[in-house]
Structure 1
Amino acid sequence: MSVNKRYPLPSADYGHAHPWNSAIHAEPLPAIFERQAQAIPNAVLAEFMGRDFTYRELYAEARRFAAGLIERGIAPKDRVGLFLPNVPAYVAAYYGAMMAGAVVVNFSPLYTAEELAAQVEDSGTRLLVTLDSPMLLPTAVEVLDRSSLETLVVTRLADALPKLKSLALRTLGRKQIASVPSRPDVSLWSDVLLEWNWAIWLDGKEPDLPDLSADDLALLQYTGGTTGTPKGAMLSHANLASNAIQVDMIDPFDPNEPDSVLGALPLFHVFANTCVLNRTVVKGGRIVMLPRFDAGQVLKTITNSRPRAFPGVPTMFQALLDHPDFAKTDFSSLRICISGGAPLPAPVREKFEKGTGVRLVEGYGLTESAGVVSTNPYEGMRKPGTIGQPIPATQILLLDKEDPTRLAPDGEPGELAVRGPQVMCGYWNKPETQADAFARFNGEDWLRTGDVATIDEEGFLAIVDRIKDMIAVGGFKVFPSQVEHVLLQHPAIKEVLVIGVPDEYRGEVPAAYAVLNEGESATGEELAAWLNGRIGKHERVSRVVLRDDLPKTMIGKLDRKALRAEVLPG
C-alpha cells in the first residue's frame, strides 16, 4: 500500500522516543492515580497560587468525594458534571467521581445557562460541582432550577489558597465570591467529603467503592465534531489512560529530571485533560495550575515556578509574544512547548522560538481521539507546517474525499481516518451520528476526522483543510487554510480567517477577514492585491476585511463557524 495513504512506515523513519508499535497497557484512571499516591505520596501534584497539593492530599480528597457521592445515591454509570475552572478541586472531583464508578461530564465555565442546561439534559447529569465564583455559581443555580439536575456541590476558592491569600479573599475580596444559597439541593464541597484518611487506607479499611474495568465509560466530552452540533464523545478509562501513556511515550527527556507542566489550558478541554492532567499523573509530575490563561501571569509563572513544558493553542503563544514582559522572562526551565487545537502560523513559531530558545512543536488531535493523534518529535527531525507523525500505537488512513469506503487516489490528499486505543467508543445517545463518524475499511472501523490531509515518505502528516470548510468556486475546491497560510506571510498580518461568501456567477468565492499586527498599517485593498498575486486564480479572494479582532472558541482557537454566522446572511 502506498505510503501516502497509510501508516505505519518503516521504524527507521519514526522520530518519537518510543517505537510506533510500543504496547499500551491501559487500566482505569483511578488505579494509576492510586499507584502514584502510594509511590510518591509527598510529591507535589498541583501548585496553585502559591500553595502545594501533594499526591497524598488530592488522592485522599478524591476518595472522600467518591464515598460521599455513593452515600448520596450516585451509582455506577451515573453522570457527575464538573463546571469548574482550573482549581485543585477539579483533580479530586474528576478522579473521585470515577472512583465511585460515575461518568464525568466536562462543562465549560464559559457556558451560558441555556448551553449548560441543554448539555445537562442531554447527558442526564445528576450532580454538578462548581465554584463559588460570581461567573459560575448563579448560572449553576439557574440550571438547577430549570433542569433535571438534582444536586449542586459548591467548592470555595478561598479553601484552595494559602492562608494569607485566603484571608484576604474572604475579607477584602468579597465581590469575587458568590453567596452559596441555603437549600437542601445545594451542598458545600467540604460537607460532601466523607471521613476518610491515609491511615484508614494503609490499614486496609477501604471505603466500599465499585470495581472498575478499563472498558468502563469514564468521560463524556462534548464536541461539535464534524457535523457542528454538540455531541457527547464517550471516552472509556482505556481511551483516556492510553492517550496519557502515548503522550508520555513521546517524551525523550531525562526521566530523572523533575517533571512539571504549566497548566494554563482549561482542564475541561480534552487537550488539557490528557496532556496536562492525566499525562502528569502517569508521569508522577507536577501541574503548575493557573485558574485561567492570562499572558502576564503565565510569563511570571514561567520565571517563578520553572515548569518544564507548556502546552497551549496558537493564540496563547501569540499573546505571550505581544506582552511587554515577554523579552524579560526567563524561559530557561522549559524543555518543550506544544501547540495544538488549531494550525500554528509559521511567523508565530519562528518568533517564539527566536525569543525563548525553546522548541515549539505542532501537534494534532480531536475530542473523539481523547486528545492526541500526532505531533512533531520533541527532538531531532521535525517538519514545520505539518502535524508531525502519529504517536505510538496510532494508525492512519487517507480516505477518498467523496467516497470514504475507498482510499484516496495516489498522490492526492484524502480524509484523515484514525484507529488506536485512544479512539472513542461512540457518541452518547446518537447512534445515527455515530454511524457517520466511522468508516468501515478492510473489516475495521476507522474514525473519520473530517480533515483533509497528506502524508509524506517519512510519515509526517499535513492538514490541508476540513472537508466542511472547503469552498466550491465554480468547479474547483479551495482550501481556506492554504489561502490563510499565504496571507499570514505578509508582515502586517497577525491573524486571518478565510470563508466562502456567496457569488452569483461562481456560487461562492473566498473572502479574508484579518487583524493587523500592532503598529502596522495596510488597507484591505492593498492586502487583497498582494495576496491575489501569490495564489491561483480560483483561490483569489474577493476582499480582505480588516477587523479589530476575530471570533475565538473557549480555548482561544480562531472560530471560522462563528465568523460565518456573524458575517453571512441567514
Structure 2
Amino acid sequence: MSTDTHSPDRVRPWIASYPEGIEWQTEIDTTPVHEQVLAACARNPSAVALDFLGGTTTFGDLAKKIVAFAGALQSQYGVKKGSRVALMLPNTPFYPIAYYGVLRAGGTVVNCNPLYTVPELSHITKNAGADILITLDLKQIFEKAEALLAAGHVKSLVVCHFPDALPLAKKVLFSLFKRKDLSNPSRSVHAGKIRAFDELIAAKETPSAVHIDAKTDIAVQQYTGGTTGIPKGALLTHANIAANMSQIDKWGCGLFYPPSKVVAVLPFFHIFAMTVCMNVPLCNGTQVVMLPRFELKALLDLLLRTKANVLPAVPTLLNAIARADTATSEHLASLEVAISGGAALPDEVRHAFAKKSKAILAEGYGLTEASPVVCCAALRVASKPMSIGLPLPGTDIRFVDVDKHKEVGIGENGELQVRGAQVMSGYYNNPEATEEAFDDGWLRTGDVGHVDEDGYVFLVDRIKDLIICSGFNVYPRTIEEALMAHEAVEETNVIGVPDDYRGEAPVAYVKLREGKTVSEADLKHFLAEKLNKIEMPKEIIFKDALPKTLIGKLSKKELREEYAQKKAQKQ
C-alpha cells in the first residue's frame, strides 16, 4: 500500500527544519535485512556484534550461526519462501541468529511476546499458520510453548538452552543454583517434535539460495490490534523493514555506526526494538549490548561496564532512571542519545531525566504498520519540546479532519496519516481491516494531532480505545471479556488513564449482578490466569450503573471525565 512520497505539489514544512546534512528527498535502501547483516559480518568478522551479560559474539561467529541455522531450517523443516516461523524469545544471542536465519532461509518471522498468555499465543500462531516455534528452555517460557505444541497450534519446537547464552562463569553459577528454572525438553511427552537449537547449528548445513522480491515478499508478520482488540498480522515486506532502517540510519547522521554501542533492553519481539536496537546497528557493524529484561540495577551496571552511548527506551524506563537515587551521573556519563518511543513521553519525565543525564532525549513516534518509525526528534541537536519531531526522510504525512475527511491546514488538528516505503502492504488474510487501515493510499494511524509552521508534529489524542502501557498495546476488550467471565460481573467498561510510571494504565469499571458481591482483590486474582501483567487493571472501580450512549452502548467518555475529576480532587 506504500505510494510514491515525492509528489511535488505537496507542502512539506518539515523539510526546512531538517538538521544540517539530512535530506528528505533521498535514495532509500531496500536491500533485504539479512543480506545487509551478512555483508556487515563479512566486512569486520572479528568485531564484537553482541554482548549478553558480558558474553560476546563476533560478527564472524554471528554470520556462521545465521547461515547454519538457515541451512537447518531448509533441510530439516522444509522452510522456504512464505513459510511462517514463530519466535518466542527474550533478548539473547539466540534471537538475532534465529531472526536472520529465518529470513535467509526465505521464511517469514512471526514475533511472539513470551509474556502473552497461552490463548493469546494460540491466536497468533494459529492465525499465522506458523508450524515451527523457536523458544527457550526457561520453564516459564517453555511451558507455554509446550502447550501450543500439545494443542496443535505449532507442529515443531526448536529449543535454545538458556545457559549457552551466558559467559562461562555465569553459566557455571546458573547450572549450580538456578537449574530448577529450566525445563528438560527431552523428557517432554512431545519430545519427538522438539529439536535443540545448538544441534541444528552444529550440523553446519549450507542453505540454498533464495530469490527475494523485496517489494512483495514478507519478512515479518507482526501482530498488532486495534479497537477490536483482536490481533491482526501486519505484513511487513523486506523493503518495508529495510526502508525504515535506511530512513533511521540517515536521520542518525552516523550515530548508529562504530564506535557506538546500542543498548537493547527493550525486547526484540517488539517492532521498535527489532528495528532500532537490532537491525539498524547490526547492519552497520555496530555492537548491540543486551539485557533479557529491564532491571534498573542490571541496566546501570551494563552502562557502567560497556560505556554504551545510545539508549532506545520507553517512558517507563526513562522515568525509572530519572527517579532512582541509585542512577548516578557516573552510570549515565557515556550516554549521548536516549530515544523515547512506544508511548507518549510525559514532560515531567523529560525534565527529570535531563537533571540526571546530559544526553539528548529525543522522542519518536511510530506504529507497527510503518515498520515502525514515522517521526523523530533530531538525534544530534535540540528539538522542540513536547513534539514527536519531524517526519523521517522519504516519509510523507498529512492530517485529515476526522468528520469531513478533508486535509486540514497548518496548526489544525486532524488524524495523522502516513505514506512511505516503510508502510505495510496490509493485514494477513484480512482485506476488510486492510481497506479500513488506508485512506486513498495513506495509512490511518488513529492518532489526532497537528503539524506546526516549522513542520514539527504534535499529537493530542487517539481515536482508538487502544491503551499504550509501557510501550505495549493493551486492548480494553481483552480485559472486559476476561472480567465478564466472572459470575458476579454484569457489565464492565475499561478505559486508559494517565500513569506516571507506565504512560497509561487500564482502569476497569464494573457493575455487579444483583445479589452478588466480590472484592477488587478477588477479581484481580481471578484475572491473573486470563491476563498478562501488562493488561492487569491498575484499579477496579465498582458502580451501581455504567454510562451508556443513546443506543445503549457502554460509553467510555463519561468514565474518563469522572476519573480525571476524581484525580484532580485528590491533588
Q: Would you call these one fold, judging by a TM-score over 0.5?
A: yes
Give the 3 Å change call, closer, same or farther, for CA 243–546 of structure 1 in structure 2: farther
Deviation sequence 1:77-106 (CA, Å, 0-9, x none):
111110000000101000000111000100
Give the 3 Å change call, closer, same or farther, for CA 69–496 of structure 1 in structure 2: closer
- The Cα of 1:172 is off from its aligned counterpart by 2.4
**Normalising by structure 2, what TM-score?**
0.80
1:6–1:397 Cα contact (<8 Å) kept: no
Deviation sequence 1:386-419 (CA, Å, 0-9, x none):
1000011000011121244x21367521110001
2:85–2:107 Cα contact (<8 Å) kept: yes
Match of 2:462 among 457, 460, 466: 466
Match of 1:161 among 160, 166, 189: 166
Match of 2:35 among 23, 27, 31: 31
Show the counterpart of 1:427: 427
Match of 1:80 among 70, 73, 85: 85
2:260–2:309 Cα contact (<8 Å) kept: yes
2:66–2:101 Cα contact (<8 Å) kept: yes
Give the 3 Å change call, closer, same or farther, for CA 217–7 of structure 1 in structure 2: farther
Q: Which amino acid aligns with 1:196?
A: K
- The Cα of 1:252 is off from its aligned counterpart by 3.0
**Normalising by structure 1, what TM-score?**
0.80
- The Cα of 1:71 is off from its aligned counterpart by 1.1
Q: Which amino acid aligns with 1:264?
A: V
Deviation sequence 1:305-336 (CA, Å, 0-9, x none):
11110011101111122333113543221110
Show the counterpart of 1:141: 146
Show the counterpart of 1:446: 442
Give the 3 Å change call, closer, same or farther, for CA 10–349 of structure 1 in structure 2: closer
Give the 3 Å change call, closer, same or farther, for CA 214–226 of structure 1 in structure 2: farther
After the TM superposition, which of the residue ranges 33-42 and 501-510 deviates more from structure 2? 501-510
Tell me, yes or no, if structure 1 residue 544 matches structure 2 residue 552: no
1:67–1:194 Cα contact (<8 Å) kept: no
The separation in 2 between residues aligned to 1:498 and 1:6, in whole angstroms, is 39
SS at match of 2:169: helix
Task: Give the total of aligned pairs.
Answer: 489
SS at match of 2:186: coil
Question: What residue ranges of structure 2 are gaps of 5+ in the alignment?
Answer: 1-8, 467-494, 510-545
- The Cα of 1:539 is off from its aligned counterpart by 9.9
Tell me, yes or no, if structure 1 residue 418 matches structure 2 residue 440: no
Alignment of 1:160-559 (within 5 A): 160-182=165-187, 183-193=191-201, 195-196=203-204, 207-215=207-215, 216-225=217-226, 227-253=228-254, 258-327=259-328, 329-404=330-405, 406-408=406-408, 411-440=411-440, 445-469=441-465, 503=547, 509=557, 541-544=564-567
Q: Which amino acid aligns with 1:428?
A: Y
1:24–1:393 Cα contact (<8 Å) kept: yes
The separation in 1 between residues aligned to 2:186 and 2:14, in whole angstroms, is 61
- The Cα of 1:218 is off from its aligned counterpart by 0.5
1:106–1:221 Cα contact (<8 Å) kept: yes
Tell me, yes or no, if structure 1 residue 48 matches structure 2 residue 52: yes
- The Cα of 1:464 is off from its aligned counterpart by 1.0
The separation in 2 between residues aligned to 1:540 and 1:64, in whole angstroms, is 55
The separation in 2 between residues aligned to 1:55 and 1:494, in whole angstroms, is 35
Question: What residue ranges of structure 1 are gaps of 5+ in the alignment?
Answer: 198-205, 471-479, 513-537, 548-570
Show the counterpart of 1:61: 65
Show the counterpart of 2:543: none
1:17–1:251 Cα contact (<8 Å) kept: no
After the TM superposition, which of the residue ranges 207-216 and 159-168 deviates more from structure 2? 207-216
Q: Which amino acid aligns with 1:79?
A: R
After the TM superposition, which of the residue ranges 81-90 and 5-14 deviates more from structure 2? 5-14
Q: Which amino acid aligns with 2:34?
A: P
Match of 1:122 among 124, 127, 143: 127
Give the 3 Å change call, closer, same or farther, for CA 378–178 of structure 1 in structure 2: same
Give the 3 Å change call, closer, same or farther, for CA 459–136 of structure 1 in structure 2: same
1:223–1:230 Cα contact (<8 Å) kept: yes
SS at match of 1:374: strand
